[in-house]
Structure 1
Amino acid sequence: MKISHLAALAISAACLAACLALPAQAQPAPGKILRVVPHSDLKNLDPVASSIVITRMHGLMIYETLFAWDAGLNPKPQMVESFSTSADKLTWTFTLRPGLKFHDGQPVTTRDVIPSLKRWMARDTIGGKLGEYTEGMQAIDDKSFTLKLKRPMALVPFALGSAVGQIPAIMRESDATSDPMKPISETIGSGPFRFNKAEWRSGAKVVYDRNPDYVPRSEPADGLSGGRVVKVDRVEWMIMPDPATAAAALQTGEIDIWEQPSQDLVPVISRDRNVKIERYNNLATQALLRPNQLHPPFDNPKARLALAYATDQAEFMAGGYGDEAWWKRCNSYFICGSPDGTEAGAEIFGKPDLAKARQLLAESGYKGEKLVLTSSMDIPAIGRMAEVAADSLKKAGFNIDLQFSDWGTVTTRQQNRGTTDQGGWNLFVTTASGATMQSPLTNIGTNMACEKAWAGWPCDAEAERLRGAVVDAPDDASRKLAIEILHRRLAEVQPYRVLGQFDQPYARRSTVVGVLSAPVMLFWNIEKN
């Protein structure tokens, strides 16, 4: 997929205005259930407090955002009906489209929107960057508000439509004014699905009912943008941690979609003529090894550099994803094959150098203390890569304690900032979509803003200065140079070790059509014949 640079992301008001809603019609009344095996169980319900993919998928089911990215990652109006910018580009004025109301029947107003955006800006990578540029927000009336900037930022619609990291979900005022550092347990949004909390069974099933009161936009669905028309009565996420069980359920028709089939089973299920193997994301997914930089030894960049020298991407990719047809080596933080996919400064990490890793580890002051690597086999590829990590790092002199638990526990533990004897951690392996990692603005792992950063909490003022230079770049050429300079700095300070990138397929029954290309799997527009 070709994704344009700053000029395309900073779409003009005139261009965007052409995408605004035409008169909309209420949802149809279908009568079918779509059963899906997601990649993990849902434990965290707040898409602003958590950036993990399963929580983001949940958030996009029940909440909406002011703008939404199309399949090319270009922002289009979603909850917004119209907007304008002042001549000096410092004041943006937005008006909400009619018919927006929460699942409890209350209308969506600017009293909900403004605190929702403030809460998101306190947590998210791109939201935090927008927050740095924001002087203030003020309601004009219930449907219109202004966002005043300290200096121009052309990427405002792109940020407000973000579908990565913590999403800018518009919540009720009572939820949005809560502490952004504490997850909410309420699940009242204004989106096309309602969360059925009464039928939620942790570890077994998650249920979403079609919202009969939702009025979609009239444009055709395009990625996350356009009309979110729900064509089934409900969506049930069936939790099946065992890949063989999920494969069998797909082949017998017990389930309709397997969101992330285990690559070693793809050849088996693809032989079934009633099963289709496809991709819903046009950018490769990145695998990464994340160190906790609050505590020794990874508070020292030399110990983090040792991770890069101690690891071979091919071992991780083969361990997690098998056939090389599905993966490739890549030392770009911003995804090889994307417009920002430079490997500047990271070329030296093509092959492991255990002697160099041991030298750096000794220079960091590490003396063999036990390091907790937390992981889960609920997502088999991640669990297998964690095993590769433990083996590789032990060879370089790290004392690794590999601890397995369910994925929900792993992701909850990731938020613990304490030492390991306080329930904290030192390392984890995870993956992130190409849409998340392809830009310095959205890459959650390269945000090195200390306590405002993602789990691992890297802190580097120079990297943050250089990330700001990318946002401020006046044209594509200067932006490209700014990204290269930033990438060289990241290669030095290693906010995380890039483990390579892979193509994640999904599997569906042939009776299912309408799956959209987007950063995560979406469940509107899907029909079950």
Structure 2
Amino acid sequence: MAWPWAWAAGWPARALPSGRTRGAASRPDCDCLPERPNIPENRTMTLLSTRRGIMQTTLAGMATAAVAPLPRAQAQGTGQKRTLKAVMHATLGVLDPYATTAYITRNHGYLVYDTLFAMDDQMRPQPQMVRDWTLSDDKLTYTFRLRPGLVFHDGAPVTAADCVASLTRWWKRDLMGTRLMNATQTLEAVDAQSFRLVLKHPYGLVLETLGKPGGPVPFILPARLVQIPEDQRITEVVGSGPFRFIAGEYRSGDRVVYEKFEGYVPRQEPASGLAGGKVVHFDRLEWLEISDVQTAASALQTGEIQVMENVSAEMMELLKRDRRVVLRPRGIGNSLLMRLNWLNAPFDNKLVRQAVLNAVSQPDYLAAQVGDDSLTQPCKAFFTCASPYATDVGAPAGQNLDRARQLLKEGGYNGEKVVILHPADLASGSALAPVTEQLLKSIGMNVQVDSMDWNSLLARRARPAPIAEGGWSIAWGIWSDLDLMSPIINLNVDGRGRRGYVGWAESAEMEKLRDAFALEPDQGKQMQLVEQMQRLAYDDVFAIPLGSYKVVSAHRDSVKDVVAHQLIVFWNMKMT
């Protein structure tokens, strides 16, 4: 299997789907918009009504074996829509696909939008909306032609102008996208079905960038939706993907509803990763937003839902005993990282940041958050232990509380409040704040934990406000390793300060190293640059890696042909 992003800069040239080869190139950065949720006022009541309804059904079904089982979604009456119900890892609060790196928004986007290219299960870019393309002999001009029959959910045909407008809005907000933008001389429509990208200099990551799976993804939207002021959010959900978003039934905190888009024409290739034919085999998809994992697992056992995106370790033990449930580890793991806010005291002080770094014990975090040693891996590599750039260079040897207390003293820490953001409704991150609270108190820090839902946390995390005005000190990154494996895409080594990723680490030296990596064709010299970057990242404490773990999905045995290598998708699935 090809390493994800292993070809990012200077890895051996390889064959593209067209038969051509490509090698190395260069790339620059993004300014991501604040992550503000679109949450209606009735969020709490609707969440409670959904959870209460499922719990009542679940408890009734468990009370006695004589009670008839709940009807499955596929066993519906004649004329009724075939509905699949799923519980995802978080509440969908941000609908603008370019405005956040949140994975729930990305997963939503893959249902309703389509992409020009997509990564298959070997992490190779494959054409998706694109029918064919050519590259000039001087490696500067790409001409893309769309496949016929592409139409948006509002009935309008997809045109090259839509693609140009979408890419122009997207690439200002994405790390890889901005690197492509900075390498581009012109991007323009040739005719209704073709558009042309002309580069300033050869750039080897064009197709990988157009097919990048991490958010923000370069989804294609109607030009009328994306040609709005830069500071405004896209609120109307219209794409050309295999599902239509049913806006009238959307209740953030309760449910998200999609229906099969009859106008979608799948590719002929088999589904692979995020590429290939997106064939939908049911009429309706409902995401039930249930933050309580036990409630969700019980609903899966009774057949009230058919898919559970993420399964915690304790729920795995329960579900393993149910022959009607299939547990499926996904091919790409996740990593946990602590983000320190460089703008606010006390973490504007490097020595205080280093104190927290020395206090951390990865095994403690993994035990509290995951709880299953068979699924976890302590990992000190900023670019993950699954990456070809894995190294322990620069990392502390292990937890050293005495050293942490000494660094606090040397840094002149004077009891400044440390505000930790706690995602109370996010099962995959709910243990991180409590562990940190106890840890920092043990070394003498003044700690306050602010609990909130995940979408509110994303919104607050994105604001560079002082502590007295609702700012924060510590927040979290829960990343797919897919988005960490190279310095080109890893936001945790972003050194652009206020223009960069939340936490706002600033280092001109880091930016020089990343630019040098992007231009370096020699693999050995690349690794030397990676080691320099990681030493700097640990010394300045850009972030604190907390370890990695495998993600497990679950579905009823009546659900077949599940594609879940990078993320769980809902095309190709069948209900028998």
Normalising by structure 1, we get a TM-score of: 0.92
1:163 aligns with 2:213: yes
Query: Are 2:422 and 2:432, in contact at CA under 8 Å, matched by a contact in 1?
Result: no
2:520 partner letter:
A
* Mapping of residues 39-438 of structure 1, within 5 Å: 39-280=89-330, 282-346=331-395, 348=396, 350-438=397-485
Shift in Å, 1:365:
4.8
Query: Which piece of structure 1 moves more, 444-453 or 401-410?
Result: 444-453
1:150 partner letter:
K
**C-alpha deviations, 1:106-133, integer Å up to 9, x for none?**
1222222122112222111211222222
% identical aligned pairs:
37
2:552 corresponds in structure 1 to 505
Query: Which piece of structure 1 moves more, 388-397 or 62-71?
Result: 388-397
Query: Which piece of structure 1 moves more, 450-459 or 400-409?
Result: 450-459
Residues 303, 87 of structure 1: alpha-carbon distance in 2 compared, 3 angstrom cutoff: farther
- The structure whose Rg is larger is 2
Residues 103, 190 of structure 1: alpha-carbon distance in 2 compared, 3 angstrom cutoff: same
**C-alpha deviations, 1:185-234, integer Å up to 9, x for none?**
11111111111111112211111111100111111111001111111111
Shift in Å, 1:458:
2.1
Query: Are 2:332 and 2:565, in contact at CA under 8 Å, matched by a contact in 1?
Result: no
1:248 partner letter:
S
Q: Report the 3-state secondary structure (helix = DSSP H, G, I; strand = E; otherwise coil) of the residue aligned with 1:324.
A: coil
Query: Are 1:2 and 1:338, in contact at CA under 8 Å, matched by a contact in 2?
Result: no
1:298 partner letter:
F
Q: Report the 3-state secondary structure (helix = DSSP H, G, I; strand = E; otherwise coil) of the residue aligned with 2:458.
A: helix
Q: Report the 3-state secondary structure (helix = DSSP H, G, I; strand = E; otherwise coil) of the residue aligned with 1:360.
A: helix
Q: Report the 3-state secondary structure (helix = DSSP H, G, I; strand = E; otherwise coil) of the residue aligned with 2:486.
A: coil
1:419 partner letter:
P
* Mapping of residues 475-486 of structure 1, within 5 Å: 475-486=522-533
Query: Are 1:390 and 1:402, in contact at CA under 8 Å, matched by a contact in 2?
Result: yes
Query: Are 2:2 and 2:123, in contact at CA under 8 Å, matched by a contact in 1?
Result: no
Shift in Å, 1:173:
1.2
**C-alpha deviations, 1:463-514, integer Å up to 9, x for none?**
1222222222224344333323322222222221100001111111111122
Q: Report the 3-state secondary structure (helix = DSSP H, G, I; strand = E; otherwise coil) of the residue aligned with 2:132.
A: strand
Query: Are 2:341 and 2:504, in contact at CA under 8 Å, matched by a contact in 1?
Result: yes
Residues 497, 117 of structure 1: alpha-carbon distance in 2 compared, 3 angstrom cutoff: same
Residues 16, 201 of structure 1: alpha-carbon distance in 2 compared, 3 angstrom cutoff: farther
Query: Are 1:290 and 1:495, in contact at CA under 8 Å, matched by a contact in 2?
Result: yes
* Structure 2 CA distance for aligned equivalents of residues 232 and 475 of structure 1: 49
1:3 aligns with 2:3: yes
Which consecutive residues of structure 2, in runs of 5 or more, have no partner in the other structure?
22-78
Which consecutive residues of structure 1, in runs of 5 or more, have no partner in the other structure?
18-28
* Structure 2 CA distance for aligned equivalents of residues 234 and 428 of structure 1: 36
1:463 corresponds in structure 2 to 510
2:24 corresponds in structure 1 to none
Q: Report the 3-state secondary structure (helix = DSSP H, G, I; strand = E; otherwise coil) of the residue aligned with 2:364.
A: helix
Query: Which piece of structure 1 moves more, 300-309 or 106-115?
Result: 300-309
**C-alpha deviations, 1:50-72, integer Å up to 9, x for none?**
11111111111111111101112
Aligned-CA RMSD value: 2.1
Q: Report the 3-state secondary structure (helix = DSSP H, G, I; strand = E; otherwise coil) of the residue aligned with 1:380.
A: coil
* Structure 1 CA distance for aligned equivalents of residues 452 and 561 of structure 2: 35
Query: Are 2:184 and 2:198, in contact at CA under 8 Å, matched by a contact in 1?
Result: yes
Query: Which piece of structure 1 moves more, 34-43 or 111-120?
Result: 111-120
* Matched residue count: 515
1:441 corresponds in structure 2 to 488
1:515 corresponds in structure 2 to 562
Query: Which piece of structure 1 moves more, 469-478 or 42-51?
Result: 469-478
Residues 231, 214 of structure 1: alpha-carbon distance in 2 compared, 3 angstrom cutoff: same
* Structure 2 CA distance for aligned equivalents of residues 368 and 179 of structure 1: 43
1:241 partner letter:
S
Query: Which piece of structure 1 moves more, 226-235 or 375-384?
Result: 375-384
Query: Are 2:226 and 2:234, in contact at CA under 8 Å, matched by a contact in 1?
Result: no
Query: Are 1:10 and 1:155, in contact at CA under 8 Å, matched by a contact in 2?
Result: no
* Structure 2 CA distance for aligned equivalents of residues 156 and 364 of structure 1: 45
Query: Are 1:317 and 1:385, in contact at CA under 8 Å, matched by a contact in 2?
Result: no
2:62 corresponds in structure 1 to none
* Structure 1 CA distance for aligned equivalents of residues 431 and 492 of structure 2: 21
2:19 corresponds in structure 1 to 15
